[in-house]
């Protein structure tokens, strides 16, 4: 049970902003939202994470709604190298150790 | 930093043979994870270690699978005997000591296993 819902696939034109939505309506108050991506034939790569405030780094921005039931990952200027599967993950806390549970993700195609 | 190192990158073996996958985590990382990825089941966590001690092996599919971490810089995942349904890409990942769920995992390039 990945606890998140994402569209199966999306297309975005090169140079445009790619906005990837994620629903996590059952998120708990102490759970973070993480985004990873997996480019073909490579291991998953960390992108960004947040708790309730919007976050930005050199790769992307993360917008979390006020009720924290959904979020959007924004790639501001998508390039062909951003074609990948993007995973939205809510951390599951058990005792002192957390596990990352990957769902199906969104397959993002950047179109030339 | 070389990142997480896995070997071999590709392994082709015959059913019934023993397979050993190897992983060297990033130096200084306290956690090590083994994942398996297939088209049907996606990315699954098999087992993870904290300071070389197995914490949760509930994802290990059956007794044919075993994992060890004899020291902080090396881990193995062994399948004995291997079966065709074990064919998958096996990823190793590592992360620093956890603090308020803010750590991130760094993945290796994976080992593509094919069991004939």
Closest CA to A91 of B1, B42, B105: B105
Burial per residue of B50-78, b for 16 or more beta-carbon CB atoms within 10 angstroms, e otherwise = beeeebbeebbeeeebebebeebeebebe
Cβ-Cβ contacts under 8 Å, A100 against chain B:
33, 45, 105
Would an 8 Å CB–CB cutoff place B74 in contact with chain A?
Answer: no
User: What does DSSP say about strands B42-50 and B53-56: parallel, antiparallel, or unpaired?
Assistant: antiparallel
C-beta of residue B35 within 8 angstroms of C-beta of residue B18: no
A91 in B contact zone (CB under 8 Å):
yes
Interface touch B101/A30, C-beta < 8 Å: yes
Closest-CA residue in chain A for B104?
A46
- pLDDT in the model for residue B46: 94
**Helix locations, A5-110, DSSP H:** none
How much is the pLDDT for A97? 60
pLDDT over 90 at A30, yes or no:
no
Structure confidence at residue B37 as a pLDDT band (50, 70, 90):
very high
A31 touches chain B (CB under 8 A): yes
Output the pLDDT for position A41.
84
Whether the per-residue pLDDT at B100 is higher than 50: the answer is no
Q: A2 with A89: CB under 8 angstroms?
A: yes
Question: In chain B, what residues touch A92 (CB-CB under 8 Å)?
Answer: none
Nearest to B100 by CA among A44, A55, A67, A93: A93
Q: How far is B35 from chain A (nearest CA, A)?
A: 10
Query: What is residue A64's predicted lDDT score, i.e. its pLDDT?
Result: 96
Q: For testing the chain B interface, which of A43, A49, A89 should be mutated: the one with the most B CBs within 10 Å?
A: A43
Residue in A32, A46, A104 nearest the CB of B105: A46
Query: Residues A31-58: pLDDT tens digits?
Result: 889 999 999 989 999 999 998 889 999 9
Shortest CB distance from B109 goes to which of A30, A43, A104?
A43
Q: Which residues pair with B34 in a beta bridge?
A: B47, B92
Q: Is B105 on the interface with A (CB under 8 A)?
A: yes
Residue A94 clears pLDDT 70, i.e. is over it: no
Q: Residue B109 is nearest to which of A30, A34, A42, comparing CB atoms?
A: A42
Q: List the 53-82 stretch of A: residues with Cβ below 8 A of B.
A: none
pLDDT at A91: 77
DSSP lists the bridge partners of residue B70 as none
The yes-or-no verdict on residue A1 having pLDDT over 70 is: no
pLDDT of residue B98: 59
Nearest CA in chain B to A100: B45
């Amino acid at each position: 049970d990945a606890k998140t819902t994402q569209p199966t696939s999306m297309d975005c034109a090169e140079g445009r902003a790619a906005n990837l939505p994620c629903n996590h309506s059952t998120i708990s108050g102490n759970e973070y939202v993480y985004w990873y991506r997996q480019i073909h034939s490579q291991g998953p790569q960390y992108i960004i994470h947040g708790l309730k405030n919007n976050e930005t780094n050199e790769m992307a921005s993360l917008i979390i709604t006020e009720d924290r039931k959904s979020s959007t990952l924004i790639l501001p200027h998508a390039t062909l190298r951003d074609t990948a599967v993007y995973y939205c993950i809510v951390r599951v806390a058990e005792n002192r150790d957390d596990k990352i549970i990957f769902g199906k993700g969104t397959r993002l195609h950047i179109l030339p | 930093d070389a990142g997480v190192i896995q070997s071999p990158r590709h392994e082709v073996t015959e059913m019934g043979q023993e397979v050993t996958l190897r992983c060297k985590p990033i130096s200084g990382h306290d956690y090590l994870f083994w994942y398996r990825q297939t088209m049907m089941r996606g990315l699954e966590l098999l087992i993870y270690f904290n300071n070389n001690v197995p914490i949760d092996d509930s994802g290990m599919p059956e007794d044919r699978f075993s994992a060890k971490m004899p020291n902080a810089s090396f881990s193995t995942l062994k399948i004995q005997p291997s079966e065709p349904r074990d064919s998958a890409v096996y990823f190793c990942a590592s992360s620093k000591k956890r603090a308020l769920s803010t750590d991130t995992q760094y993945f290796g390039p994976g080992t593509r296993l094919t069991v004939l």
